[in-house]
Amino acid sequence: MILRRHRLIGAAAAVFVLISIVALAQNVAEKPRAAGFTCIPLGVTGGLASGNLSAYLVAVEGTHDYVCLDAGTLLAGLRTAVEHGAFEDLGSNYNRPLEVAGLVLRKHVKAYLLSHAHFDHIAGLVISSPEDFPKPIMAFSPTIEALQKHVFNGQVWANFANEGSAPALGRYSYSRLNPGEATTRS
């Protein structure tokens, strides 16, 4: 039962990615449309592998404007990706993998698209939030409600979102998705 549910969540996440990529592609209109997408896995497991939790960067091929599909691992995954040659064209002005990873996190991850609020899908987002730059968190309402109630609530972690428990720091803006509806985000 858990495996089937995880596959359903994965299917929903794939739909999220397609919706987000269409929106992202509209935002890079000044660049020629690419033939495909770039996908960089930052983490591919769950459970005890804290530096390898579910997170994928997806961008229109030829750009560095990424949507992060789930965010279980961020900085550790970005550092590993840099060490394996990802973002080489961004790293020419930087000497260390951490510098390139920080650049990608802050400036090139344009949005988070969360499939659900299990910790192995949000831990990197939470831990990185103090150093991140403003961007949207896109998810179905139950996921956003779980983040508000249980994570970004001023008790477990500061409220880095734009709504919920005071003080709302506004680093992230919640964007609620509706099943079966296309959405664009600028």
pLDDT tens, 144-167?
A: 999 999 999 999 999 999 999 999
List, in sequence order, every residue forming a beta bridge with 157; answer none if it has no partner.
Answer: 152
Mean pLDDT score, 59-84 = 94
CA–CA separation, 92 and 98 (whole Å): 13
What is the structure's pLDDT at 169?
96
Are residues 24 and 38 in contact, defined by beta-carbon separation less than 8 angstroms?
no
Angle of the 75-83 helix axis to the 119-128 helix axis, nearest 10: 90
Q: Summarize the confidence of residues 13-35 as an average pLDDT.
A: 50
What's the confidence (pLDDT) of residue 31? Answer: 54
Q: Mean pLDDT score of the chain, rounded to an integer?
A: 84
Per the model's pLDDT, the better-predicted residue between 179 and 10 turns out to be 179
Which has more pLDDT, 45 or 2?
45
Task: Inform me whether the pLDDT recorded for 98 exceeds 90.
Answer: no
Confidence of residue 21 (pLDDT cuts 50, 70, 90): very low
pLDDT at 15 > cutoff 80: no
Residue 21 — left, alpha, or beta (φ > 0 → left; ψ -120 to 50 → alpha)? alpha
Q: How confident is the model at residue 113 (pLDDT cuts 50, 70, 90)?
A: very high
Q: What is the pLDDT of residue 64?
A: 93
pTM of the model: 0.81
